[in-house]
Amino acid sequence: MLRLTSTLLRRCSVFEKISKGELPARVVYEDEQCQVIHDISPVSPVHLLVYPRKKIARLSTAEEGDHPLLGHLLGVAAKTAKAQGLEGYRVVINVGEDGGQTIDHLHLHVVGGRKQCWPPG
């Protein structure tokens, strides 16, 4: 019988695979804490995903020690939006299934390039 180790049982998120170079992506920005890529299913002319290299499943599971990283992600979102020429844009974090989260790894959507409507959902 095959014995599964915790490493085999741990599923890597698509973002972890991109960070490791195991999956292709159009990388816009990266540093030691995070990466920014183009979304493969954009909802606006510009649709970026900002995610930490550290796997945090969702915003609601982030710990107090993660707060500096969360601030860094917001700063990177603003910096990359500006680099893409966006003056107005929306930053969205989906949390949980009811919130529309489909990848179990915290990520910020930066969407712009057209007027954003309200309400968003």
- pLDDT tens, residue by residue, 3-26: 333 333 357 889 999 998 999 999
Confidence of residue 121 (pLDDT cuts 50, 70, 90): low
Cα 63-108-20 angle, rounded to 5 deg: 80
Confidence of residue 2 (pLDDT cuts 50, 70, 90): very low
Give residue-wise pLDDT tens across range 64-106: 999 999 999 999 999 999 999 999 999 999 999 999 999 999 9
Is this model's pTM higher than 0.75 or not?
A: yes
Contacts of 11 (CB under 8 A, 6+ apart): none
Number of other residues whose CB lies within 10 A of the CB of residue 73: 23
pLDDT computed for residue 27 by the predictor = 96
Confidence of residue 119 (pLDDT cuts 50, 70, 90): confident
Per the DSSP assignment, residues forming a β-bridge with 109 are 49, 92
**Would you name the residues annotated as active-site residues?**
107
- Domains of the chain plus CATH, in order, are 10-112 (3.30.428.10)
Handedness of CA 79, 77, 71, 52 (dihedral sign): negative
DSSP string, 1-70: -PPPPHHHHSPPPHHHHHHTTSS---EEEE-SSEEEEE-SS-SSSEEEEEEESS----GGG--GGGHHHH
Q: What gap in Å lies between CA 82 and CA 100, rounded to an integer?
A: 26
